[in-house]
Amino acid sequence: MDCPSCGGRCVRPAAHVLNSIDYVYMACRSCKNEPHIDKNAPRRSLQTAGLERCEHCGKAPLDLVMLEAMDLLVEEGLRDDREPLRSVGSPMIEIGYPLPYPPRLGNSQLILLMERVNRNAASRLIEIPEIKGVIRRSRHIPGVVDKNGHTWELLAGCDMRCDIIQSIYGDLVIYKNQSKIHIEFPRESYPKIRILEGLRIAGRSVIDGLCGPGTLGLVCVLAGAKKVVMNDIWLPAIENVLINLDANRDLLGIDSIELFDRGEKLVGSSPRLVGRAKGACEIDVFHGDIRELFSAVSPSDICILDHFPGAPLDEIKRAGSSCDEIVVI
């Protein structure tokens, strides 16, 4: 599967990713101890002698990658060496899951989310081997919070990463183009999934009306739903749902996936069927506004509504009111 962001091999089948997570960010026996650099101390005060990539496995401690990024930003005049390492930005590991230790990074395993960065510095940052992509964030959450859609800016490299979603029904890998999809990092106790685990899903029909990249709808497929409709107003979210169907097809018992024309509109309105998967569960994927969804889709047994915190919900709840059970996450 080609990565829609860089054309490379970033999107791997879920089984490959899940089989790798136990060791992907581990140190080898030859790796040096964790440096534990103070992220709040001025760069100029840090003692960094002896901090290097492991000669045996080639991995770098996260602190080393952030230090190299900081030094490059100082060179570019975008940071002052009195600023701390924390001022570089937020590091996001390519495969996100609750990690009990700081990661040791191989090539292209870190995406930086930054402010105060330009295209020139970003193109130099991705020359640091562990850095896969540089995203410039703004004050808007990527996606559609109310009416308009927003994206962050991918300045260099690739923004495709995934989160591992663990549930009692099994694990899934949810890919996200992180410059276009809001950040939601799985913690050990992931309340949204715990809510789903408390529902009776097996054999029932489910609509995930605000599905984002598809996390909750796909967990319902794992939980044995007989039909799942996934819908989102934001085209990049829907494009990620289609990738996630394919990446998880074996885990989800999917036999075939059909894709239909998606159109160009980033923010949808009337429902457009853009994908259909068949197998253990029938899965339809729609791009559109949930307030219009029921002109094309029959009400389901369960309608899941997971909006952004603080976003207006009244009209959206009204839209789903013909379903037997509304679950607001």
Ligand X SMILES: C[S@@+](CC[C@H](N)C(=O)[O-])C[C@H]1O[C@@H](n2cnc3c(N)ncnc32)[C@H](O)[C@@H]1O
What residues contact residue 306 under an 8 Å CB cut-off, 6+ apart?
A: 192, 208, 210, 211, 212, 216, 328, 329
Q: Report the partner that residue 289 touches, choosing among Zn ion, ligand X, none (CB closer than 5 to 8 A by kind).
A: ligand X
In whole angstroms, the minimum distance from the beta carbon of 210 to ligand X comes to 3
Name which of 113, 111, 103 is nearest 141 in CA terms.
Answer: 113
- Which of positions 217-246 make contact with ligand X (CB under 6 A)? 231-234, 237
Going by DSSP bridges, is the β-strand pair 160-167/325-328 parallel, antiparallel, or unpaired? unpaired
What is the rounded CA–CA span in Å between residue 135 and residue 148? 20
**Of 73 and 241, which has the nearer Cβ to ligand X?**
241
Query: Is residue 167 close enough to count as binding ligand X by CB under 6 A?
Result: no
DSSP secondary structure, 15-67, as one string: HHHHHHTTTTT---TTSPPP----TTSBGGG---TT----TTT--EEHHHHHH
Placement of tokens 């490379």 in the chain: 8
Look up residue 135 and give its DSSP letter. Answer: E
Is residue 160 part of the contact set for Zn ion (CB under 5 A)? yes
Residue 239 binding result from ligand X, Zn ion, none, given CB thresholds of 5 to 8 Å by partner type: none
207 binds ligand X (CB under 6 A): no
Q: Is 329 one of the binding residues for Zn ion (CB under 5 A)?
A: no
Which of 134/305 has CB closer to Zn ion?
Answer: 134
Contacted by 95, from Zn ion, ligand X, none: CB < 5 to 8 Å by type: none
Instruction: For residue 161, state whether it binds ligand X (rule: CB under 6 A).
Output: no
- In the set 307, 320, 326, 327, which binds ligand X (CB under 6 A)? 307
Tokens standing for 233? 């107003």
Asked if 110 interacts with Zn ion (CB under 5 A), we say: no
Does residue number 274 form part of the binding site for ligand X (CB under 6 A)?
no
Q: Of the listed pieces 9-17, 121-129, 211-219, 254-262, which binds ligand X according to CB under 6 A?
A: 211-219
Least distance to ligand X from the beta carbon of 9, Å?
24
Q: Are 213 and 181 in contact (CB under 8 A)?
A: yes
Cα atoms found within 13 Å of the Cα of residue 77, Cβ hemisphere only: 1
Partner whose footprint covers residue 26, from ligand X, Zn ion, none (CB < 5 to 8 Å by kind): none
The entry of ligand X, Zn ion, none that residue 233 binds, CB within 5 to 8 Å by partner kind? ligand X
| Torsion over CA: 266, 94, 7, 89 (sign) | positive
Q: Which does 111 bind (CB under 5 to 8 A by kind): Zn ion, ligand X, none?
A: none
Residue 89 binds to ligand X (criterion: CB under 6 A): no
If one asks whether residue 95 binds ligand X (CB under 6 A), the answer comes out as no
Using the CB atoms, write b or e for 100-116: b if 16+ within 10 Å. Answer: eeebbbbebbbbbbbee
Of 24 and 302, the one with the shorter C-beta distance to Zn ion is 24
User: With binding defined as CB under 6 A, does residue 290 bind ligand X?
Assistant: yes
Order the strands of the 131-136 sheet from edge to edge. 90-93, 110-114, 131-136, 153-157
Q: Which of 212, 271, 275, 320 binds ligand X (CB under 6 A)?
A: 212
**Cβ pair 152, 138 in contact under 8 A:** yes
Taking the C-alpha atoms of residue 176 and residue 239, their distance in angstroms, rounded to an integer, is 9
Is 54 one of the binding residues for Zn ion (CB under 5 A)?
A: yes
Under the criterion CB under 6 A, does residue 144 sit at the interface with ligand X? yes
Q: Is 89 helix (H, G, I), strand (E, B) or coil?
A: coil
| Residue tagged 């457009």 (tokens) | 272
User: Could you list the residues that contact ligand X (CB under 6 A)?
Assistant: 143-144, 184, 192, 210-213, 215-216, 231-234, 237, 289-291, 306-308, 316
User: Could you list the residues that contact Zn ion (CB under 5 A)?
Assistant: 3, 5-6, 8, 10, 28, 30-31, 54, 56-57, 158, 160
